[in-house]
Amino acid sequence: MTTTTQPTAAASGAGATARFKADKSAGAAGASNERVDLLAREVLGAVHNTIRKHKVTYAEYNAVKAWLIKVGEDGEWPLFLDVWIEHVVEDVATEHRKGNKGTIEGPYYVPGSPDSGSSGTIPMRENEAGTPLIWTGRVTSTDGSVLAGARVELWHADDDGLYSQFAPEIPEWNLRGTFTTDAEGRFEIRTVRPAPYQIPTDGACGQLIAAAGWHAWRPAHLHVKVSAPGHELLTAQLYFPNDEHNDDDIASAVKPELILDPQPGPDGASQVVEYGFVLDPESV
């Protein structure tokens, strides 16, 4: 750990909550009465059934109530929802796609990262820790046509497993960058390999994990959003082979199609990897 101020669940939770409110909470107003009635009834019914089936006690009810209050106090609703719920929403939302598999966004995306053109280095500190990674790829449409000017937004944790803007003392756009494909749809990105990520253990989500005897780990991953005019936005994560958490990601967000195959680079110190994206045209 190179920081002097320790990251806390409450601080990263507050950041993720503010980010969600700034970007996405407005979209939550769009459900009809009928839809809210149907879904709220079914979710509550499922909770009632669980209580009857397992004879949930008042002590357990109060423990859950205290815990739910703490989730809010710690700002961990974005973390809780994105770790334990989002993967199913993503599956349903993208099941029609013929192009690239995607996966969950998670709580730490920030729009507007610096533009590095079609070939460049993601913003990083001098001597950023981690194995250098040179990633080349191409963006195409499902009909095979090349997508020039497509945007690849990349964000990921550092070698300590921390995200800029959600942990203290990391430069604002560290390991967050936007790349744009060239005339042949190609991009080349220089970054470093991220470390496996442990979700904060000192907040409400960590309390649930400890109480249930689970672990808090996600495999190392690169987050991407890939977009091109007339095409559906692809939100994905890329993983690394042989990560011990590829098979038991706490966020259930690993798919075999998203595991990279990095190779030793020519200089021996870095790794090179080829991975491109196929986008689905927007249906009209």
Q: Which is nearer to ligand MBD, 107 or 177 (CB)?
A: 107
Give residues 91-130 in contact with Fe ion (rule: CB under 5 A): 106
Q: In terms of CB distance, is 156 or 231 closer to Fe ion? A: 156
Q: How many residues bind ligand MBD (CB under 6 A)?
A: 12
**How far apart are CB 180 and ligand MBD at their closest, in Å?**
24
Q: Which residues contact 263 (CB under 8 A, 6 or more apart)?
A: 271, 272, 273
CB 160 within 8 A of CB 130: no
82 is a site residue for ligand MBD (CB under 6 A): yes
* Residues 91-110, mask of contacts with ligand MBD (x by CB under 6 A): -------------x-xxx--
Cβ 9 to ligand MBD, closest distance in Å? Answer: 11
| 162 counts as binding ligand MBD under rule CB under 6 A | no
Q: Binding of ligand MBD at residue 197 (CB under 6 A)?
A: yes
Instruction: Say how many C-beta atoms besides its own lie within 10 A of residue 120's C-beta.
Output: 17
Smaller CB separation from ligand MBD, 170 or 199: 199
Binding map of ligand MBD across residues 40-79, x = CB under 6 A, - = no contact:
---------------------------------------x
Residue number, 172 or 282, with CB nearest to ligand MBD: 172
Residues near Fe ion, by CB under 5 A? 106
